[in-house]
């Protein structure tokens, strides 16, 4: 029995199956978007701005529709623009998030009508678009995969906006829990030697994941699971936030200027313990969950305190994807086919699963939870791979290359399975904490 289309790598599907997958996934991601916006919030909540770090939710909603029109109607199907006058309103590079509430944005009802009209035209035109003409934009259904992933990424951004809201939660706690095994609290050795990093044959991979190339990585140790709340609390209780020895100089400035003493959304309770706010609920900090909402500076400081360091992204990808017995990389830590019982992805739990969960999702080296739960900070700056070529536009990746951005890997509980794989690269400023970030530590094999 074949696995469902949604779990199979796009490169294994013929054009008919790809179009079936695309139509299905366009519907699924739109249901998700509406479930985070117009299905659950009133107009005031949709048009308000909870933080200058985030857009009003109605901006995200219309933006995904405008992006879809630009790429799937105008670029892929050759259809004339529907609303060219709104293009600049929803161009993320034209208007920073802080100023978007002041723009003449589409009202929620108008935004929903617009994106529904776009979607209807996309589905009507899908049958006439060919994937086998040699045109890079449509080969392998790339541009459709790009649009589906883009909307899922904005859905994760919408979840970050919901987390920043201080009012009553609009999200219902989903049922079910992960399959949990006792956390090891240990580390594994990854032998030195070359491996293949990135991809050249995944038709839905972004330009920054390409091309595949050999990287020789010295032997290193890496934590089996992400750092937990309990472990991070030990760093806090040991005075980690007050000791500049552990902090990058810029991180120390960030910590002291903002008087940071704990991860975002944590607060001391009346008995000396800690609570966290999660989607409007205040609850005790769960000790066994991976810590989240920490900046790169905090992750780096913890790693130094623990006598370790953050892994490079090459180390992270080798530990996650490389199968030394087969001599090749896997699309996911456990294999090439996605399976729901291997990772906490897709907004199913609204929180990280406990460390030690999803034992069946371990990599060939026995490292767990490398996909899902929390985005993991690495020590690497964001740069293109050797032979990088910008496609289909520089503003997706290339304009962000440089030392200002740190690479994150693996996706979080809020990331959809179609929008992450072992080669996927995320990036952000080292001060960012509103996103669902955590980390694990590594150390060179010759230390200790």
Owning domain of residue 41:
5-164
**In-domain check, residue 401:** yes
User: What is the Cα–Cα distance from 301 to 277, expressed in whole angstroms?
Assistant: 23
Task: State the 10-residue block means of pLDDT for the chain, 448 residues long.
Answer: 71 87 95 95 94 95 97 95 94 91 96 97 95 91 96 97 83 62 81 97 95 97 97 97 97 96 94 91 95 98 98 98 96 94 94 95 97 98 97 94 98 96 97 97 84
Q: Is 148 exposed, middle or buried (0-12, 13-18, 19+ CB in 10 A)?
A: buried
State the CB neighbour count (10 A cutoff) for residue 117: 14
**In-domain check, residue 64:** yes
Total of domains in the chain:
2
Q: Residue 158's pLDDT is what?
A: 96
In sign, the C-alpha dihedral spanning 357, 363, 369, 371 is negative
Does residue 228 share a domain with residue 156?
A: no
Does residue 381 share a domain with residue 444?
A: yes
User: What is the Cα–Cα distance from 199 to 230, expressed in whole angstroms?
Assistant: 36
Q: Which residue has the tokens 């293949």?
A: 196
* DSSP-derived secondary structure for 291-307: P-S--HHHHHHHHHHTT
Does residue 388 share a domain with residue 257?
A: yes
Q: Residue 4's pLDDT is what?
A: 73
Q: Residue 9's pLDDT is what?
A: 76
Beta strands in 191-265 (DSSP E): 193-197, 213-217, 220-223
Does residue 76 share a domain with residue 155?
A: yes
Does residue 159 share a domain with residue 246?
A: no
Q: Residue 243's pLDDT is what?
A: 97
Does residue 331 share a domain with residue 190?
A: yes
Global pTM value:
0.95
Q: Residue 182's pLDDT is what?
A: 66
**In-domain check, residue 414:** yes
Does residue 434 share a domain with residue 308?
A: yes
Q: Residue 179's pLDDT is what?
A: 55
Does residue 148 share a domain with residue 274?
A: no
Element (H, E) at 187: strand 187-190
Does residue 382 share a domain with residue 249?
A: yes
**In-domain check, residue 174:** no
Does residue 334 share a domain with residue 187?
A: yes
Q: Residue 156's pLDDT is what?
A: 97
Q: Residue 340's pLDDT is what?
A: 92
* CATH number of the domain to which 188 belongs: 3.90.1580.10
Which one of 164, 199, 221 terminates a domain? 164
Q: Which residue has the tokens 């100023």?
A: 99
Does residue 140 share a domain with residue 266?
A: no
Q: Residue 86's pLDDT is what?
A: 95
**In-domain check, residue 349:** yes
**In-domain check, residue 247:** yes
Does residue 260 share a domain with residue 143?
A: no
Q: Residue 418's pLDDT is what?
A: 94
Q: Residue 139's pLDDT is what?
A: 93
**In-domain check, residue 175:** no
- Pairing between strand 426-428 and 402-409? antiparallel
* CATH number of the domain to which 72 belongs: 1.20.120
User: What is the Cα–Cα distance from 171 to 279, expressed in whole angstroms?
Assistant: 7
**In-domain check, residue 171:** no
Cis peptide before 211 (omega within 30 of 0): yes
Distances (CA, A) of 348 to 137, 171, 173, 177, 198: 32, 11, 9, 9, 28
């Amino acid at each position: 029995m074949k696995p469902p289309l949604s779990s199979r790598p796009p490169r294994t599907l013929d054009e008919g199956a790809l179009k079936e997958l695309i139509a299905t996934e366009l519907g699924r991601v739109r249901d998700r978007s509406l479930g985070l916006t117009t299905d659950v919030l009133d107009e005031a909540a949709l048009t308000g701005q909870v933080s200058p770090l985030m857009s009003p939710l109605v901006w995200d909603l219309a933006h995904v529709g405008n992006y879809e029109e630009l790429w799937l109607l105008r670029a892929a199907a050759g259809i004339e623009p529907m609303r060219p006058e709104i293009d600049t309103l929803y161009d993320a590079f034209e208007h920073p998030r802080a100023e978007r509430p002041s723009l003449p944005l589409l009202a929620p009802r108008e935004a929903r009508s617009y994106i529904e009209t776009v979607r209807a035209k996309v589905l009507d035109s899908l049958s006439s678009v060919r994937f086998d003409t040699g045109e890079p934009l449509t080969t392998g259904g790339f541009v459709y995969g790009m649009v589906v992933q883009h909307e899922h990424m904005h859905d994760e951004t919408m979840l970050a906006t919901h987390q920043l809201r201080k009012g009553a939660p609009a999200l219902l706690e989903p049922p079910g829990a992960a399959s949990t095994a006792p956390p090891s609290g240990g580390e594994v050795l990854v032998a030195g030697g070359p491996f293949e990093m990135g991809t050249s044959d995944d038709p839905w991979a972004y330009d920054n994941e390409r091309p595949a190339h050999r990287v020789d990585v010295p032997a290193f140790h890496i934590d089996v699971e992400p750092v937990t709340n309990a472990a991070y609390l030990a760093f806090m209780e040991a005075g980690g936030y007050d000791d500049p020895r552990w902090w990058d100089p810029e991180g120390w400035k960030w910590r002291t200027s903002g008087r940071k003493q704990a991860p975002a959304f944590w607060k001391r309770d009346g008995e000396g313990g800690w609570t966290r706010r999660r989607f409007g609920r205040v609850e005790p900090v769960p000790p066994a969950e991976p810590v989240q909402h920490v900046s790169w500076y905090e992750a780096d400081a913890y790693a130094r305190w623990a006598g370790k360091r953050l892994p490079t992204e090459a180390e992270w990808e080798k530990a996650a994807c490389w199968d030394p017995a087969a001599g090749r990389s896997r699309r996911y830590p456990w294999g090439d086919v996605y399976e729901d019982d291997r990772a906490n992805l897709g907004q199913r739990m609204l929180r990280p699963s406990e460390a030690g969960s999803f034992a069946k999702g371990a990599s060939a080296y026995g490292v767990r939870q490398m996909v899902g739960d929390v985005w993991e900070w690495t020590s690497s700056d964001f740069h293109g791979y050797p032979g990088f070529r910008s496609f289909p536009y520089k503003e997706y990746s290339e304009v962000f290359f440089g030392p200002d951005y740190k690479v994150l890997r693996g996706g979080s509980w809020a990331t959809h399975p179609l929008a992450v794989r072992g080669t996927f690269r995320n990036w952000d400023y080292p001060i960012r904490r509103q996103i669902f970030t955590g980390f694990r530590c590594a150390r060179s094999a010759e230390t200790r």
